[in-house]
Amino acid sequence: MEQKKQTRPFVIAGFALLAFAFLFKWEFIYSEPVIDRLLGLMGVTAWSNGNSGLHFTGIISLILLIIGLFFLAKRYSGKMIFVFFLAMILIPTNLFANVYQSNFANGIYALEFQQDGSNCEYDTNDSGIVEGNCKISIVNHSSNPVTFCASINQKYDHNRFNVTNIINLKDHQLKLDANEHRTFDINFRHSLQSSKYQSVGGQLDIFSLIIADDDNNTRRL
């Protein structure tokens, strides 16, 4: 009993640190951790080089996790510490997102972008026009229809060809009925402005979306 009293502050601090460690990686309904989003709204980047490099909030989350497990080790055995570690790794970063979107969210905030079912393919035809097709899989978790426009979130790279710069989805107004899951099939064409790229082709499998509604609300998925 005396040992439990002595270790109680460490246990409380340990679980608190684990909670903060999870908070630093929690994405909820966004395509980025909530902390990253808050920092972005304040004009502070969470990365050392734009959207790449060292992820500061990820490093902080790891440090909090290690310190929290160290504190918990004051009372719990190595097996329990390993269980806590696995729980922190396996808990989904969008925890509570589906519950919130199904019961409380409206409009574009009820939408879920399914990356696994989405991709873009493109190639250059004989006239030097890049032609392609994007399949965008989105779920509407709300009981109301949602109308929106989508665009691929561009990652700027001035040193090489970036296909996200030429994929135009904004001209297509998309609609999902209540509780509908649909894979939109969207074609695009683009003339290459630079002679540096005479022929390009390939597939884009990993990307994020920016969606917007008629009230100028925007959200990154």
Q: DSSP characters for 173-186?
A: EEEE-TT-EEEEEE
Going by the DSSP 8-state scheme, the letter that residue 219 receives in this structure is E
What does the block give as tokens for 11?
């246990």
Q: What is the pLDDT of residues 78-115, one digit of tens each?
A: 888 888 888 888 887 777 777 777 777 778 888 888 87
- Give the residue from 134, 196, 139 showing the smallest Cα distance to 171: 134
The two structure tokens encoding residue 56 = 């500061």
Residue 61 CB neighbours (<10 A): 21
Identity of the amino acid at 58 = G
Mean residue pLDDT across the chain: 77
156 pLDDT exceeds 50? no
Helices (H), the chain: 2-23, 34-41, 56-72, 78-90, 97-103
Nearest to 164 by CA among 143, 134, 139, 141: 134
**Highest mean predicted confidence (pLDDT) among 30-39, 51-60, 142-151:** 142-151
Tens-place pLDDT, residues 28-44: 777 677 787 777 778 77
Helix H or strand E encompassing 198: none
Is pLDDT above 50 for 159?
no
From residue 19, alpha-carbon distances to 81, 118, 124, 172 in Å are 15, 32, 50, 41
Q: In the chain, what are the domains?
A: 2-95 (no CATH), 107-220 (2.60.40)
Indicate the pTM of the whole model.
0.63
Name the pairing type of β-strands 111-113 and 47-49.
Answer: unpaired
Q: CB of 39 within 8 A of CB of 45?
A: yes
User: Using CA atoms, how far apart are residues 212 and 216, in angstroms rounded to an integer?
Assistant: 6
